[in-house]
Structure formats: C-alpha cells, structure tokens
Amino acid sequence: MDTFEQLYKECLTKNKTIYQAAQENMAIEADISVDKVRSFALKSLFEMKEAIRSGLISKELSMSGMCGQDCYKVQQYYKKQNSMFGKLFEKIIEYALATSEENIRMGRIVACPTAGSCGIVPAALIAISEEYNCSEFEQINALITAGEIGRIISLKVALAGAVAGCQAECGVASAMAAAAVCQLRNGRVSQILNASALALKNVLGLTCDPVAGLVEVPCVKRNPFLAVHAITAAELALCDVESKIPLDEVVDAMGQTGALMSPMLKESSQAGLAVTKTGLKVQKQVFD
C-alpha cells in the first residue's frame, strides 16, 4: 500500500483497521510473524515511556546550555497552579518537553519520525492512554497506526527538515500523533485519516531554522505545541469534521511547499530565527 487511498480501500474491503492492515503487511515484507511486529512496537513504546520518565526527573542542560530545564519549570508551575485546560493538558506538555529534552541531552529516545520531533507522538499517545486507562494492546495498536501514517508519507516526501522544512518533521509527527489518538479513542478509519490530514495541512510551510544549527531552539518547545495540535485534530475528526483535502493530496502539497521553500529555511540556519539578532548572539556564545 503506497497511498492512503489504497490503505482506506484495503481496510474497507477487508473490514480491517489501519493497524491490522499495517501489521500484516509489515510481517509479510519482513518475513516475520505479526507477533514479532507487535513485539518491536512494544519495545518502542517502552523506550518512549523511559524517555518520558528520565526527562521528567532531569534538570541537566544540553551541551550548548540553551535548553534542558523547561520541563522542570512547567512541573514546578503546575504544582502551584493548575493548567487552564486541566491535568491531561499538563501531562501532554510535560511529556513532550521531557522527551525532547532527553534528546538534546543525548539520552535514548525513539525518533518518531525524527529526533527533533521525538516528543510529539509519545506525549499524545501516552498521556491519552493514561487518561483513559488504555491497555498495552490498545497502545500498541495506536503506535502501529501512527507508524503506518508516517511510512506512507515518507514514500512521497523525505522526513527531514533539510528536505522539506519542519513540516516534514514536527508536522508529520503531529499527523502521526493525531492518528494514534484517534485510534485510542476507537475512531473509524476515515476519522483517523481525516485527523492526520487536519493536523498536517495546518502546519504546511513550517520552516526549519534552528538557532546555532542545533536541534534545540525552537525545536524543543515546538514539540509540546504540535502535540496539542494533534489532539485538536483528533478531536475534530472524532466529531466527524472532515478535511476537504484528502490526506494524499495534503502530502503532495507538503512536498510542493518543501520544494518551493528556500534552502536557507531548511535546516541550514541561514535565515529565519537562526539569523535574528539574538539568534546570532546565541550562536557566537555557543561556539566561542
């Protein structure tokens, strides 16, 4: 299955969920059992949870000194003052920051789909799973669903900021997270695909302009923003709000947008935030 239209038809004609179709195809392609596929997914799920756990208890700065204590600051604030959106929102913000900060400390994370976007899927999937007491079986289903969304997108557009900007990293991660959440909430196949489309199309054009060329600013804080973005997309889709543009076409638009984007805004740190007055000052401090 190379397109979302093909995936939808496969699920519809054979009465399968996305994760069922995906795990069966993965098993065939890799010449392994479906149980083995699910075992690999469980290992990734475990590593995601470990990254969150480690990130929540660490205040260690990155080597550059730019990032590493935002998760701690958020936790301290929420001990005194509840979030305006409630405890679930607090978890999503904390988990996304915890995972992303583990990445910049060179800790172990799951690139999902990339290191710079590593906090989005874990934060959404695990926070929602805890909120609704989802079983391990259901969590694996959600992660495989997210993986299938990322896999098909990657067939058309390389998931790299240097190729298509951050829309291809954090944007795709948000689409994957939206699909995972929709699956956790027992969304239909059509709703899952709409959730991904809604998440992705609303970040088209997102640039990759890291300060000092490091995956820290704005990357770390972009993770909680896009995790919440994914929840919004999932909620809308579960209400049967549809994306007027099908997911395949949204991916095509992302590819076109990436091709039209200046190379200076695709991980080169030659424009955007990286060359602001403060951005250049930080770069000098880091490398001097």
Pairwise CA distance, residues 222 & 220, whole Å: 5
Structural domain boundaries of the chain? 4-287
Q: Report helix, strand or coil for 266.
A: strand
Planar angle of CA 165, 170, 50, nearest 5 degrees: 140
CATH 1.10.1740 correct for 4-287: no
Q: How many residues does the chain have?
A: 288
Q: Which residue, 225, 221, 282, is CA-closest to 71?
A: 221
Cβ atoms 122, 227 nearer than 8 A: no
pLDDT the model gives residue 34: 98
Tokens of residue 246, six digits: 């099908």
Pairwise CA distance, residues 129 & 217, whole Å: 29
pLDDT the model gives residue 1: 87
Tokens of residue 240, six digits: 């049967």
| pLDDT, block means (10 residues), the chain with 288 residues | 97 98 97 98 98 98 96 98 97 98 97 98 98 98 98 98 98 98 98 98 98 97 98 98 98 98 98 98 93
pLDDT digit string, tens, across residues 13-43: 999 999 999 999 999 999 999 999 999 999 9
Is there a cis peptide before residue 113, judged by omega within 30 degrees of 0?
A: yes
Tokens of residue 5, six digits: 């239209």
Pairwise CA distance, residues 280 & 283, whole Å: 5
pLDDT digit string, tens, across residues 89-121: 999 999 999 999 999 999 999 999 999 999 999
Planar angle of CA 3, 140, 115, nearest 5 degrees: 70
**What's the burial of 113, exposed, middle or buried (CB within 10 Å: 0-12/13-18/19+)?**
buried
Non-local (6+) Cβ contacts of 81 within 8 A are: none
pLDDT the model gives residue 288: 84
